[in-house]
Chains A and B, each alone.
Chain A
Amino acid sequence: MKNFTYFRPTTAEQAVALLENRWGNTELLAGGTDLHDLQKEYVAQPSRVVSVTGIGALAGIRVDEKQATIGAGTKLAAIAEHADLRRHFPSLCEAASDIGGPQIRNMGTLGGNLCQRNRCWYFRDEHTPCLLKGGQRCYALDGENKYHAIFTQGRQCVIVNPSTLAPALIALGAGVNILGPKGRRSTDLAKFFFSPANANDREHTLAANEMVLEVTIPVRNWANASYEVRQKLSYDWPLVQAAVAFQGGRNGAKATGVRIVLGHVAPTPHIAEAAMKALEGRDITDANATAAGRAAAEGAKPLSQNAYKIRLVEVAVKRALLMAAGMKRYWEM
């Protein structure tokens, strides 16, 4: 690991003041479950590291009648276990409790989860100079790409965004509060993510001298669920994830305001517009959920080794919808 100078400010303003306006030389550090990994592999080589762990105000969960606010420094384990969050947003808490293993959930934070780098194995190999490391080509395009994107149109880099909290949060209509040198700004989480193409890009739209303060979620009694197709139950990544949220939809009521967001299929969380349209104003039946799943997979352009993910999208969407509607989980073993 390249040696670095370590800063541990106690306010977010101090932290932001320590950042630079270009990526690479200075990095924010939260739980370190991702950044330290990249440093040890010499993929990230910051000479300055700004820890947010000294900023007490950054961690914490508040839930009132209108909205939930989760600080960027909140641990994944705290999100998974929070009773009020679980009552309103089972999709988020389920997603949080499925992440990695206990060690990762006890160290990893919400801010780190949303801003984590992608898991492409070429990206994480020190010796492979792919696009995101200033190189000339994407090695995954015709290499080993079974875990890569299937919605690849117009993308030079075919990573999948790794966060499983992001699809759940986007489906719930979450917003994100950001602090930069000029003060605070807010944006929809749906607009937060980015499809990177070179070494100056990140998987999100933050400027290098900005940081995430908190995420807000409207409380509105919507049905919601997240379903992940996982090969293993412990310490693994999903192959495909579907997060859904809608109003009504239970006990024969029509579903409205339907949101369906896919994870691990595209460089950003993928909003499945066609599926959302297909289901809008309908009731959640097996047939309608199946149709929505098909619509969600439409337009996929898989790579050489990941066409199987199309089928997984169909299934994950169907199952997430049935779960949210409180129907029988016919797939439980």
Chain B
Amino acid sequence: MPWPTTRRVIGTKVQRLDGPDKATGRARYSFDINLPGMLHARILRCPHAHARIKNIDSGAAEKTNGFRALHIIANAGVQLFFAGAEIVAVAADTEEHADDCLHAIRIDYEVLPHFVKEADALRAPDGPSTVPGGTPNVRPGGDFSTAKFDDVAYEGTAPRVEGTYGVAIISHQCLESHGLVAQWDNDLANLTVYASTQAVPLTAQALAQNFKLPVTRVKCITNYMGGGFGSKFGPDIQGIVAAELARKARAPVKLMLDRAEEVAVGGQRPSAAGTVRIAGTKEGDIRAYEVDCYGSPGVGGGATVNLGFLPYVYSVPNIKRRHRFVRLNLQTGRAMRAPGHPQNCLLTDQAVDDLAASLGLNPIILRTRNLPQNDQNAVQNDPTSFPALRHTIYTRQLEIIRKLCSWDDRWHPPGRGDGVIKTGLGMALHTWGGGGGPPNPTRVTVSSDGSVLVQSSTQDLGTACRTVPAIITADILGLRPQDITVQIGDSTFGPSTPSGGSTTCPGISPAILKAAEAARDALFAAIAPGLNAQAADLSIDTGHVINRANNNARIPWRNACGRLGMNTAIGNGDWPTNAQFQQNPDLRREWRGRLTNNGVGGVQVAEVKVDTETGVVRCTRFWAVQDCGLIINKLACESQVAGGVIMGVNYALFEECIYDRVTGRMLNPDMEFYKLGGIRDMPDIMVHMMDMPERGVIGIGEPPTISTAAAVGNAVFNAIGVRVPQAPFTPERVLAALANGRKRN
């Protein structure tokens, strides 16, 4: 079951099926669901960064106008570890009344010490623990060294370069906030939720578990979704609470976070900062990379960088790394679009440019010299895998981007150029996995009127995944994508891959292919006898079924389907199980080597203009070259890359969660002082998709945002000749770096 070699629709530019619905507002997101008699719920949150609840008095709330139900999330005695932690939820007839109810609740707190800034916690290593379990706030996060690092690393190198590089905690800022609408049936036996989630079946499962219901009695619907970026993998507290309140009030309940909640508790990407020492030969072979870094995942203990991958992408023989987690009284970090990778890239690629500058080399030369080699073992056994191809892919991408952005004409040594407005060019590289897997049961149904339906429980986060089943099915059945009806986002269709790790498209695509082929074969089997043919005599051409048994007669699609009469032709498709893969290496190679694959590379270049009098940076142009194996929808791929770049430019220039040391609260849980660039703040983005159909389908959701910020950082360095150590590169930081640069000279 390979991918078709001549592809009618797959790999072309297909507009998303729901584009007009989204553009006109006809599409109803979970946030837009309003049911008859629906109540609105709000959550009372702890205003302190660390406190113990002494007493909860909710009596007055229950007497407030519009009150319908109340649910205590954290009882007296409970210790809360960040401002925004959930305590009580209330449902009322309107959102405003729900807010009034919350304001009628009195809570007494014992306020406890907190840390909300990395530097403060680092300065007090023996200070009071302010995190759960009384464990130290600053904890080792791993260290590693190649053999005899101190003896051999700097042998024969030019003087090493030292730099510090940091980036702030940022928020996912999903345009549609977290939450859901919960509705029980009359006897409380069945629960339906309309959720904003990246994992439709998983959300239903989690709710079933929580309410001790058979999973068959919980239905999760996600028709349209306004972004998750790694922060929406289940019902979360607010989802469970909405269902609790709906049960208590015996009415549907909507609980979507407001903007301030979305930013303060809806997910954050951990900060990272580190001192890097890097050294190479004067020809430009990187010999040594040392990093001492830390970052804060908030109150949780999760990773901040991807320590095992430092230095990122490049092949360096001598490595030493140390990492510390700085746990703070902030919401727990959540996966965010390529978790750990953008931080790794900032801690590596910016140091690489600083090294290039000190060696007097063009950074594109330095990068070309230090790419990871193709793994010879993989070349033998897994020739389409990323390890087998990485050197080939990066080399090719560097060649492409060099031409695309006219690197040789535009690049200049760092800091050169007169005038107040200085232009710079910067580059960075990235990698990601993006392999799919089971289970993703998919059903394709052909009806006798020629209409075709594809069903899968998968979700479209805004990526254009809804259009993927239409493209693949249309290609196999000789139709157009708009001829296919796609139903997704319904947990009753069975399991599917949660949309994390860029695994959705590679997860669903081969299952759709299999189901579409099975439906085609079922159609052929059903109609062949009436055409005096064997099923094997029938084939598809655009809009037609061809009958070889009758002089290659061309039967229009609808006529052919009409022969189904009262029947339908159904095809089911899914991945083999992991156990089957283990037993059968050929099967594994087919599904995880040709139909799909894992591992991509990408190269990005940013052009910035820096106003050296004000420190204002504008990213003016951007080039991105990206591999993702077999392209399903070229338009959607380019759009994914552009979106990733936009997110990365924001990461580099604007975004930062700012916390107050004294109150422990976030000061900018908004879209005002939490700065997000608008369209005028974004560069012209040129995307080049590298098509490698022989590799099979690979995800593209995460990779294109990884190297953007580092490319922008390098462009700023190239423009002004001094490194701005901390991202986002705000005017005051750029001015400070320029002033430091002047002092040194």
Interface residues of A (CB under 8 A from B): 1-3, 42, 101, 119, 121-122, 125, 127-128, 139, 143-144, 146-147, 229-237, 239, 305-306, 308, 311-312, 315, 330-333
Q: State which of B271-279, B310-318, B727-735 sits at the interface with chain A.
A: B727-735
Q: Which residue of the partner chain A has the closest CB to B668? A: A121
Are B730 and A233 in contact, with the CB atoms below 8 A?
no
When A42-B103, A235-B671, A331-B421 are in contact, do A139 and B678 touch as well, CB less than 8 Å?
no
Are A121 and B667 in contact, with the CB atoms below 8 A?
yes
Partner of A308, one of B65, B618, B731: B731
Q: Is B213 an interface residue (CB 8 A)?
A: no
Are A231 and B654 in contact, with the CB atoms below 8 A?
yes
Chosen A-B contacts, 6 in total, with CB atoms closer than 8 Å, are A42-B99, A121-B667, A121-B673, A230-B616, A236-B675, A311-B614
Q: Which residue of the partner chain B has the closest CB to A128? A: B663
When A1-B99, A2-B100, A121-B668 are in contact, do A231 and B616 touch as well, CB less than 8 Å?
yes
Are B731 and A229 in contact, with the CB atoms below 8 A?
yes
Cβ-closest 8 pairs across A and B:
A234-B678, A308-B732, A233-B680, A121-B667, A127-B47, A333-B609, A315-B613, A234-B680
Are B678 and A232 in contact, with the CB atoms below 8 A?
yes
Partner of A312, one of B653, B667, B677, B731: B731
Are B613 and A331 in contact, with the CB atoms below 8 A?
yes
Q: How far apart are B379's CB and chain A's nearest CB, in angstroms?
A: 47
Chain B positions 715-736 with a Cβ under 8 Å from a chain A Cβ: 730-732, 735-736
Q: Which residue of the partner chain A has the closest CB to B671? A: A235
Are A139 and B673 in contact, with the CB atoms below 8 A?
no
Give the chain B neighbours of A308 by CB distance below 8 A: 615, 731-732, 735-736
Q: Which residue of the partner chain B has the closest CB to A120? A: B667
Q: Is B681 an interface residue (CB 8 A)?
A: yes
Q: Is B60 an interface residue (CB 8 A)?
A: no
Are B677 and A234 in contact, with the CB atoms below 8 A?
yes
Give the chain B neighbours of A235 by CB distance below 8 A: 671-672, 678
Are A330 and B677 in contact, with the CB atoms below 8 A?
no
Q: Which residue of the partner chain B has the closest CB to A45? A: B103
Give the chain B neighbours of A2 by CB distance below 8 A: 100, 103
Give the chain A neighbours of B419 by CB distance below 8 A: 330
Q: Mark B634-676, 1 if CB is under 8 A from A, else 0.
A: 0000000000000000000110001011110101100111010
Q: Which residue of the partner chain A has the closest CB to B731? A: A231
Distance between Cα atoms of A306 and B103 in the complex (Å): 36
Could you tell me the dominant secondary structure of chain B's interface residues?
loop
Interface residues of B (CB under 8 A from A): 47, 65, 96, 99-100, 103, 419-421, 609, 611, 613-616, 618, 620, 653-654, 658, 660-663, 665, 667-668, 671-673, 675, 677-681, 730-732, 735-736
Distance between Cα atoms of A239 and B675 in the complex (Å): 13
When A1-B99, A308-B731 are in contact, do A139 and B663 touch as well, CB less than 8 Å?
yes
The residue among B614, B616, B620, B730 with the most chain A CB atoms within 10 A of its own CB is: B614
Q: How far apart are B572's CB and chain A's nearest CB, in angstroms?
A: 48
Distance between Cα atoms of A127 and B96 in the complex (Å): 18
Give the chain A neighbours of B665 by CB distance below 8 A: 125, 127-128
Distance between Cα atoms of A221 and B560 in the complex (Å): 80
The residue among B609, B620, B730, B732 with the most chain A CB atoms within 10 A of its own CB is: B732
Give the chain B neighbours of A315 by CB distance below 8 A: 613-614
Give the chain A neighbours of B99 by CB distance below 8 A: 1, 42
Give the chain A neighbours of B680 by CB distance below 8 A: 233-234
Give the chain B neighbours of A101 by CB distance below 8 A: 678
When A232-B675, A312-B731, A333-B421 are in contact, do A143 and B611 touch as well, CB less than 8 Å?
no
The residue among A125, A231, A237, A308 with the most chain B CB atoms within 10 A of its own CB is: A231
Distance between Cα atoms of A315 and B671 in the complex (Å): 27
Distance between Cα atoms of A8 and B675 in the complex (Å): 36
Distance between Cα atoms of A332 and B613 in the complex (Å): 12
Q: Which residue of the partner chain B has the closest CB to A137? A: B662
Q: Which residue of the partner chain B has the closest CB to A101? A: B678
Distance between Cα atoms of A144 and B657 in the complex (Å): 12
Give the chain B neighbours of A330 by CB distance below 8 A: 419-421
Distance between Cα atoms of A130 and B528 in the complex (Å): 81
Partner of A333, one of B618, B663, B673, B736: B618
Distance between Cα atoms of A308 and B503 in the complex (Å): 45
Q: How far apart are A171's CB and chain B's nearest CB, in angstroms?
A: 21
Give the chain A neighbours of B731 by CB distance below 8 A: 229, 231, 239, 308, 312
When A239-B731, A315-B614 are in contact, do A233 and B681 touch as well, CB less than 8 Å?
yes
Are A3 and B100 in contact, with the CB atoms below 8 A?
yes
Distance between Cα atoms of A230 and B653 in the complex (Å): 13
The residue among A237, A239, A306 with the most chain B CB atoms within 10 A of its own CB is: A239
Distance between Cα atoms of A119 and B658 in the complex (Å): 15
Are B103 and A127 in contact, with the CB atoms below 8 A?
no
Are A232 and B662 in contact, with the CB atoms below 8 A?
no
Are B730 and A231 in contact, with the CB atoms below 8 A?
yes
When A231-B654, A311-B735 are in contact, do A143 and B662 touch as well, CB less than 8 Å?
yes
4 additional A-B pairs beyond A101-B678, A128-B665, beta carbons within 8 Å, are A143-B661, A229-B614, A231-B731, A308-B732
Give the chain A neighbours of B65 by CB distance below 8 A: 3
Give the chain B neighbours of A232 by CB distance below 8 A: 654, 675, 677-678, 681
Give the chain A neighbours of B732 by CB distance below 8 A: 146, 305-306, 308
Q: How far apart are B48's CB and chain A's nearest CB, in angstroms?
A: 9
Distance between Cα atoms of A108 and B99 in the complex (Å): 26
Q: How far apart are A322's CB and chain B's nearest CB, in angstroms?
A: 12
When A121-B668, A330-B420, A333-B618 are in contact, do A144 and B660 touch as well, CB less than 8 Å?
yes
Are B611 and A333 in contact, with the CB atoms below 8 A?
yes
Distance between Cα atoms of A332 and B735 in the complex (Å): 18
Q: Which residue of the partner chain A has the closest CB to B732? A: A308
When A3-B100, A308-B735, A330-B420 are in contact, do A234 and B681 touch as well, CB less than 8 Å?
yes
Give the chain B neighbours of A234 by CB distance below 8 A: 677-681
Give the chain A neighbours of B660 by CB distance below 8 A: 122, 128, 139, 143-144
Q: How far apart are B666's CB and chain A's nearest CB, in angstroms?
A: 9
Q: How far apart are B422's CB and chain A's nearest CB, in angstroms?
A: 10
Q: How far apart are B558's CB and chain A's nearest CB, in angstroms?
A: 48
Give the chain B neighbours of A144 by CB distance below 8 A: 658, 660, 667
Q: How far apart are A45's CB and chain B's nearest CB, in angstroms?
A: 10
Q: Which residue of the partner chain B has the closest CB to A333? A: B609
Distance between Cα atoms of A268 and B665 in the complex (Å): 27
Distance between Cα atoms of A3 and B101 in the complex (Å): 12
Are B678 and A127 in contact, with the CB atoms below 8 A?
no
Give the chain A neighbours of B100 by CB distance below 8 A: 2-3
Q: Which residue of the partner chain A has the closest CB to B617? A: A231
Distance between Cα atoms of A233 and B681 in the complex (Å): 6
Distance between Cα atoms of A297 and B573 in the complex (Å): 71
Q: Which residue of the partner chain A has the closest CB to B48? A: A127
Give the chain B neighbours of A231 by CB distance below 8 A: 616, 653-654, 675, 730-731
Give the chain A neighbours of B653 by CB distance below 8 A: 231
Distance between Cα atoms of A237 and B670 in the complex (Å): 14
Distance between Cα atoms of A235 and B736 in the complex (Å): 25
Q: How far apart are B117's CB and chain A's nearest CB, in angstroms?
A: 10
Give the chain A neighbours of B661 by CB distance below 8 A: 143
Distance between Cα atoms of A121 and B663 in the complex (Å): 12
Distance between Cα atoms of A306 and B615 in the complex (Å): 13
Give the chain B neighbours of A127 by CB distance below 8 A: 47, 663, 665
Give the chain A neighbours of B614 by CB distance below 8 A: 229, 311-312, 315, 331
When A143-B662, A229-B614, A330-B420 are in contact, do A125 and B678 touch as well, CB less than 8 Å?
no
Q: Which residue of the partner chain A has the closest CB to B609? A: A333
Q: How far apart are B731's CB and chain A's nearest CB, in angstroms?
A: 6
Partner of B678, one of A122, A233, A237, A332: A233
Distance between Cα atoms of A233 and B620 in the complex (Å): 13
Q: Which residue of the partner chain A has the closest CB to B620? A: A333
Q: Which residue of the partner chain A has the closest CB to B419? A: A330
Give the chain B neighbours of A237 by CB distance below 8 A: 672
Give the chain B neighbours of A42 by CB distance below 8 A: 99, 103
Distance between Cα atoms of A236 and B678 in the complex (Å): 10
Distance between Cα atoms of A239 and B661 in the complex (Å): 23
Distance between Cα atoms of A109 and B677 in the complex (Å): 25
